Structure 1
Amino acid sequence: MNEHLKLEQQLTTALKSIARRRDLKDYVEQNPQVNRILRQAALRYIAGDSLQEGLETGEKIWRRGYFLSIEYIGENTSDAIQCEQAVAEMIALIQGLKQSGVPGRVSFDLSHIGLMISPSLAYSNLMEMAKQAEGTNIELFISMEESGKTEGILSVYKRAAAECSSIGITLQAHLTRTPEDLAALTSPGRIRIVKGAYQESAYLSIVRSPELNERYLELVEAAIRQGHQVSIATHDDVIINAVLERGWLTNSQAELEMLYGIRPDLANRIRSEGNPIRIYVPYGHEWYLYLCHRIAEYPPNLYQAVIDIVSGKGVENNY
């Protein structure tokens, strides 16, 4: 391995570890100067802090010909009142999309709405959100979290999806268990496949490598074959080229999904060629972990973060 690649992998590992440190997160949130500086970098990847900013950015993305996912950022909420507040925010998001006439997908972590307290609370809150989205063109989409939560997340999802067909689930290609988890989803439904951003033990996961790329493509093919609607969530050129070559995006079951602020030039090009693309737009105050993951996934993003911080200028994502 060359020295540059080795340093990038070490940076990725370090950033993933930093992202999970509560003391650093608290420091960033409680120190106004540090928060202001790092938020300048985060604004490349988030719509802003408020619901209004999220809705305005989401509508702009949709009017430019993209499908839309939108997330109110948050996770690991262990206080029941804070879970209620998160659910209220997401219901307001659903209502805002409904009123604007923008079809979309509301994404979220189950640990943001009660999973850290109990699976039953997460389920009841999820079904309250599903009730608000009933009869609309708005989908609810469950994100995947650390491997220790996978069983609980899948259990809540399966229970909810049996009652509501517009709820989707995310699967992480890097977890060794994922092929079996996908095979167990026997009823056709909505699935997002990601590589996986969390730091996991070697015996539980596959490191980023050609092997992981092949596993990712195998999962996409299997999901399509099983009859699922599939969001292929990646910015990896190797995977995207393989997806285009195999013609999966001409299949009404599949779409490409890309994160807001990550390679908008590539998204524009692929969309202009007639391919379906969904842009994932997050908003909210809980952006620290999200920023760490965006840099960890592609360490050269650290250079862009420094440029954004030093320039002090507003970020314009050119979709």
Structure 2
Amino acid sequence: MHDNKDWEQQAADALKSVARRMDIKAYVEQSPLLYELLKKAALHVTGDSRKDGLEAGQRLTAKGYDIGENTVNTEECETATLELTALIDDLGGQGTSARVSFDLSHIGLLPEPELAYMNLVKLTERALGTELELFISMEESAKTEQILEVYKRAASRYPNIGITLQAHLYRTPDDLAALSASPGRIRIVKGAYQESAEVAISRSESLNERYLQLVRQALGDGHRVSVATHDERIIEEAIQRGLLTEHGAKLEMLYGIRPELGSRLKSAGYPVQIYLTYGHEWYLYLCHRIAEYPPNLYRAVANMAESRRVDPVEAYV
């Protein structure tokens, strides 16, 4: 007999596997009707272009939200670096206070970590003198060591770079402790990638407690911390423990996911940053967003039934 948590865990694991199935992704992309139908469900993606992301960001900023921007998921390292450079220039030209987030794999980690480091330095120097902060996302656990090494090298020279850590990895408390001398903001996420039981904790109350402990540890080390989750249980517990009133603590939520929760928290006086994505590579994000919070599936189905694409910005107050 399975309870709801068992089914949710199985569904989450299945979606994480589907996210990495290139044959399924290719089938979706080559089926115009299916592509457009599923794209309507991907409300966490602002649109296909940088212009779409910037426009959504401006509208949310006008409503009092802080903004984080994510790049398109391109395969070519130089193309991705040029796209990031253009995004930094656009945001810097607006005088916008924002974060620009990306995977190091986008800018060269897999061909050569040194290429990722050099491109990261170029981008960081491009952002100097603006209100922008660069933010490195975390990827599969096999890349964690390389990502942290590139980050620590760059963070030792530049203060405007932050790093993401995944609570579900057993190694993360030690990784966080090793960053005590790094000045950048720490983003804590549960972890969206499917990992083996040898390296990661499954979705559970133990993982929720680990998450909260990491937030406390990071704040205690003097870091500015982004509490990046849509899990209301974690958010409520963080509030009860006083973590969100600590200096440098900020909630971070993904654009289009649980806007009613973000609006309620912002109205209660908690700082909320909305993380925006744009580009054609929405398939992976859609699978992961439903996997991290299975009730998102209901919203996705409702969005597919709409005659037109829903405008998520309208849901934020």
Structure 2 SS opposite 1:201: coil
Give aligned pairs, total. Answer: 313
Match of 2:109 in 1: 115
Aligned residue type for 1:248: L
Asked whether 1:274 is paired with 2:269, we answer yes
Q: CA deviation at 1:311?
A: 2.0
TM-score (structure 1 length as normaliser): 0.95
Match of 1:88 among 78, 82, 85: 82
Whether the 8 Å contact between 1:40 and 1:312 is mirrored in structure 2 is no
Aligned to 2:33: 33
User: Which residue of structure 1 aligns with residue 240 of structure 2?
Assistant: 245
Instruction: Give how far 1:5 is off.
Output: 3.2
Counterparts of 1:62-211 in structure 2 under 5 Å?
62-74=61-73, 77=75, 82-187=76-181, 188-211=183-206
Which whole-Å deviations, capped at 9, do the CAs of 1:100-156 have from their partners, x for residues lacking one?
222100000011111111101111111111111011110000000000000010011
Structure 1: 5+ residue runs without aligned partners?
Answer: none
Aligned partner of 2:230: which letter?
A: H
For the pair 1:22 / 2:12, whether they are aligned, the reply is: no
Q: Secondary structure at the match of 1:262?
A: coil
Q: Give secondary structure in 1 for the equivalent of 2:68.
A: strand
Residues 173 and 216, structure 1, Cα contact 8 Å, conserved in 2: yes
**Post-superposition CA distance 1:159-197 (Å, at most 9, x none):** 111111100000000000000000001213210000001
Give the unaligned 5+ runs of structure 2. Answer: none
2:43 is the counterpart of 1:49 = no
Distance in 2 (CA, whole Å) between partners of 1:209 and 1:263 is 21
Moved more, 143-152 or 291-300: 291-300
The letter of the residue matching 2:165 is: L
TM-score w.r.t. length of structure 2: 0.95
Kept in 2: contact 1:144–1:153 (CA 8 A): yes
Measured after TM superposition, the shift of residue 199 of structure 1 is 0.4
Q: CA deviation at 1:252?
A: 2.2
Shift of 1:32: 2.5
1-structure distance, mates of 2:275, 2:302: 23
Equivalent of 1:261 in 229, 234, 256: 256
Q: Which shifted more, 248-257 or 155-164?
A: 248-257
SS of residue in 1 equivalent to 2:197: coil
Q: How far off its partner does 1:246 sit?
A: 2.1
Q: Give the deviation of 1:219 after TM superposition.
A: 0.5
Q: Is the 8 A contact 1:173 1:212 kept in 2?
A: yes
What is the alpha-carbon root mean square deviation over aligned residues? 1.3
Residues in 2 aligned to 1:263 and 1:103: alpha-carbon distance in whole angstroms:
23
Cα distance change on mapping 1:249 and 1:300 into 2, 3 Å: closer
Q: State whether residues 105 and 141 of structure 1, in contact with CA within 8 Å, keep that contact through their aligned partners in structure 2.
A: yes
Q: Deviations over 1:212-247 (max 9, x none)?
A: 011111100010010111001111122111211222
Counterpart amino acid of residue 152 in structure 1: Q
Kindly state the Cα deviation for residue 316 of structure 1 after the two structures are TM-superposed.
Answer: 2.3
In 2, distance between residues paired with 1:66 and 1:311? 27
For residues 7-49 of structure 1, what are the alpha-carbon distances to aligned partners after superposition, in whole Å with 9 as ceiling and x for unaligned? 222211111000011111222223323221211111x111111
State the 1:300 CA deviation: 2.1
8 Å contact 1:73–1:284 — kept in the other structure? yes
User: Aligned-pair distance for 1:313?
Assistant: 1.9
SS in 1 for 2:199: coil
